[in-house]
Amino acid sequence: MKRLLGIIGHPVHHSLSPIMHNTALKYLGIDAEYLAFDVLPEELGHAVLGAKALGFLGLNITIPHKVEVMKFCTPDKISSQIGAVNTIRFDSEIQGFNTDATGAYRSLKEAGVEVKGAKVLIIGAGGAARAVSYILHIKGAEVVVANRTVSKAKEICDRLGMEYSGLDKLPQLVRWADIIINTTSVGMQEDKSLIPKRLLDSTKVVFDIVYNPVETRLLKDAKEVGARTIDGVKMLVYQGAESFRIWTGIDPPVDLMEKAVRKELKN
């Protein structure tokens, strides 16, 4: 019998997860299909329990449900500490995981970036920043989170004992950091960056988790000044690969998944 997987969010029509996961399922000959479901916040509980009743293998959870969904599952240790779940698996229980953290860490690792002991500036304090700052902190980086709304950066950092700041200190922080990670939505479908290019002259590594466009203004500027750059497609694919492994126990073909996503983004 064909098994079902999916992503629930609102809105979700733009999601690249169906193409990415269906590519892997097809390649591995797994009789399953991955679909996208637009679910309103007030329907979240019904959607999760309904998917379990219908025999789904698991789900990805995206904006705006990553925190709220924790009420409907048993989060593992990492997702509890992050305070957000982006993957659930249906066993006898409904298990919650956060693969954004693993996806971000693997993106840096596979690019040959040493995180332990590095000075990392994370810009943004939304859902993605929670996962990214958590994993870098536990992997031994010195993390500072800078955000437009300082209270949100404070909330993330106080939990883990990290430093935080407003965006007014960006010039000093950009010069201080070995690695800069943009986790804000600035640059998504727009030619904008929060960091003026002239500040990047001594920057070594820039990672932008925004993936549409693949090469954001920040990454273009960083490339032009000779920094190593990592785009958001890498994190998207690696978080997806980790979810896939959680559902199926199989490591999926990340190269094929990445190719499918990049092709879709080109179109």
Which of positions 27-86 make contact with ligand NAP (CB under 6 A)?
63
116 noted as active-site residue: no
Q: Which one, 52 or 211, has the nearer CB to ligand NAP?
A: 211
Given the residues 52, 66, 139, 234, the one annotated as active site: 66
Among 21, 91, 25, 2, CA closest to 60: 21
Of residues 118 through 177, those in contact with ligand NAP by CB under 6 A are 124-129, 147-149, 152
Angle between helical axes of 232-248 and 17-28 (0-180°, round to 10): 50
By CB under 6 A, tell whether 10 contacts ligand NAP.
no
Near ligand NAP by CB under 6 A, which window of 41-49, 170-178, 205-213, 257-265? 205-213
Taking residues 79 to 118 in sequence order and writing x for each that binds ligand NAP by CB under 6 A, - otherwise, the string is: ---------------------x--x---------------
Q: How far is the CB of 243 from ligand NAP (least distance, A)?
A: 11
CB atoms within 10 A of CB 13: 8
| Single-letter amino acid, residue 106 | R
- Given the complex with ligand NAP, which of 148 and 197 has the nearer CB atom? 148
How many residues lie near ligand NAP (CB under 6 A)? 26
Chain residues in the site for ligand NAP (CB under 6 A): 63, 100, 103, 124-129, 147-149, 152, 183-186, 188, 194, 209-211, 232, 235-236, 239
Catalytic residues: 66
